[in-house]
């Protein structure tokens, strides 16, 4: 499916945004008019409330999240963490329909899964949930250090990658974090800035404590230290604009705990990709929690990392940090509502810096008019690389 030398453009989308209206017409339009070479479709998400960009019913789409395909149960026999299929997907098996329609058109299909922020799993199986430094179990996120969660993800990746039309699996939310620290809805004495969120997001569940302790990390010191830092933040007596990195530079137990975390996540990404029939990617975007992502995810040959930018000036930075990157993710705010000349010059920069593909967000949020600048930018990029 993937043509060497061709500029690849993927558009991310929730499955309902392709299926509602008319699946065939949506794909024809994206391929024929807009010029995308593939779609990246969410197949496992947290709860979503989406106000859609186009006139399609229902205009506001709600789901409690879960899987948007019918899992093969034998894939999950080795884990106590069992898949939860979304109520919306139960009667219709969206993946099967989308895969067939993409295959008929020669459109590439990738699937994206939220690996940790699957709140329904965390609610149902609190023993697999992240726990913050106060011992509170998350109702939103499961812990990627938990053996059952790891075996579940292994089943999930293999389940999805063994379906013929799927050419890649993207691991999103690939982070160990007490989920309530992300996003809104948190009430606390202080304004939650990034640094406070990072401390509150650190996971000290039993799996993390055991794993890090047996790797020689002084977990209790790391935890006490995190508690002291957060207490200072909440009292307002800390420099809350300090970067997490500079905190770690002066705090060896906490730094050791984070280094263990990076190794753990790197090993998990390799394990999930190992022997997989399709390309596995790790999406570096985690809403508001860039500090928690492993700085160096040593994936090895099997795993690629996709970085996402939400400002044009981040592009050269990503290029210099990840010279091996072939593709760049572009977040919705940079695309939706952009003027054609701005988007064309962004894509020109993408080509200049040696990327040969982009993945842009997000079909469901785009109005009809938002598609026109994208079409022009894709044309420009394709002409520039001579295809």
Residues in the site for Zn ion, rule: CB under 5 A? 143, 145, 203, 205, 208
Name which of 107 and 219 has its Cβ closer to Zn ion.
219
Residue 61 belongs to what H/E stretch? strand 60-63
Residues 346, 376 contacting (CB under 8 angstroms): no
Name which of 102 and 265 has its Cβ closer to Zn ion.
265
Cα–Cα nearest to 353, from 296, 312, 383: 312
Q: List phi, psi (to 5°) of 143.
A: -95, 130
Query: What is the CA angle 56-60-61, rounded to 5?
Result: 90
Q: How far is the CB of 288 from Zn ion (least distance, A)?
A: 19
CA distances from 209 to 188, 226, 246 (A): 26, 14, 24
Q: How far is the CB of 14 from Zn ion (least distance, A)?
A: 28
Residue 130 belongs to what H/E stretch? strand 129-131
Name which of 257 and 380 has its Cβ closer to Zn ion.
257
Q: How far is the CB of 299 from Zn ion (least distance, A)?
A: 21
Alpha-carbon span 142 to 131, nearest angstrom: 9
Q: How far is the CB of 206 from Zn ion (least distance, A)?
A: 8
Name which of 12 and 150 has its Cβ closer to Zn ion.
150
Q: How far is the CB of 253 from Zn ion (least distance, A)?
A: 17
Calculate helix-pair angle for 206-214, 219-235, nearest 10 degrees.
130
Name which of 145 and 307 has its Cβ closer to Zn ion.
145
Name which of 41 and 171 has its Cβ closer to Zn ion.
171
Cα–Cα nearest to 140, from 107, 97, 185: 185
* Count of C-beta atoms within a 10 Å radius of residue 8: 20
Whether the link from the prior residue into 204 is cis, omega within 30° of 0, is no
Alpha helices in 162-251 (DSSP H): 194-201, 206-214, 219-235, 244-249
Residues 372, 337 contacting (CB under 8 angstroms): no
Name which of 256 and 315 has its Cβ closer to Zn ion.
256
Q: How far is the CB of 207 from Zn ion (least distance, A)?
A: 5
Cα–Cα nearest to 169, from 274, 270, 271, 280: 280
* Count of C-beta atoms within a 10 Å radius of residue 150: 22
Alpha-carbon span 293 to 174, nearest angstrom: 8
Q: How far is the CB of 205 from Zn ion (least distance, A)?
A: 3
Name which of 12 and 176 has its Cβ closer to Zn ion.
176
Q: How far is the CB of 209 from Zn ion (least distance, A)?
A: 8
Q: How far is the CB of 177 from Zn ion (least distance, A)?
A: 9
Name which of 128 and 366 has its Cβ closer to Zn ion.
128
């Amino acid at each position: 499916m993937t043509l060497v030398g061709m500029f690849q453009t993927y558009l991310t989308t929730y499955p309902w945004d392709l299926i509602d209206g008319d699946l065939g017409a949506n794909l024809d339009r994206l391929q024929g008019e807009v010029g995308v070479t593939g779609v990246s479709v969410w197949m496992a998400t947290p709860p979503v409330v989406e106000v859609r960009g186009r006139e399609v019913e229902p205009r506001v789409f709600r789901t409690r999240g879960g899987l948007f395909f019918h899992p093969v149960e034998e894939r999950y026999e080795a884990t106590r963490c069992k898949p939860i299929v979304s109520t919306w997907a139960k009667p219709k098996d969206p993946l099967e329909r989308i895969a067939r329609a993409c295959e008929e058109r020669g459109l590439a299909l990738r699937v994206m899964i939220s690996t940790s922020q699957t709140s329904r799993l965390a609610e149902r199986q609190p023993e697999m949930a992240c726990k913050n430094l106060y011992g509170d179990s998350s109702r939103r996120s499961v812990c990627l250090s938990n053996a059952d969660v790891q075996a579940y993800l292994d089943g999930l990746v293999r389940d999805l990658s063994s379906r013929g039309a799927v050419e890649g699996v993207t691991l999103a939310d690939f982070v160990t974090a007490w989920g309530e620290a992300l996003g809104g809805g948190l009430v606390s004495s202080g304004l939650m800035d990034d640094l406070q969120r990072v401390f509150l997001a650190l996971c000290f569940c039993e799996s993390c404590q055991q794993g890090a302790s047996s790797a020689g990390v002084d977990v209790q010191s790391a935890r006490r230290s995190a508690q002291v830092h957060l207490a200072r933040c909440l009292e307002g007596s800390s420099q809350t604009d300090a970067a997490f990195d500079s905190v770690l530079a002066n705090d060896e137990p906490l730094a050791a705990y984070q280094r263990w975390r990076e190794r753990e996540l790197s090993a998990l990404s390799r394990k999930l990709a190992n022997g997989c029939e399709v390309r596995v990617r790790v999406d570096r975007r985690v809403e508001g929690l860039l500090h928690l992502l492993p700085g160096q995810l040593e994936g090895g040959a099997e795993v690629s990392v996709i970085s996402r930018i939400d400002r044009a000036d981040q592009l050269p930075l990503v290029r210099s940090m990840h010279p091996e990157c072939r593709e760049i993710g572009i977040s919705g705010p940079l695309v939706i509502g952009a003027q054609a000349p701005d988007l064309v010059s962004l894509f020109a920069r993408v080509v200049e810096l040696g990327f040969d593909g982009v993945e842009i967000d997000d079909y469901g949020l785009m109005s009809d008019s938002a598609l026109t600048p994208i079409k022009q930018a894709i044309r420009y990029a394709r002409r520039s690389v001579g295809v």
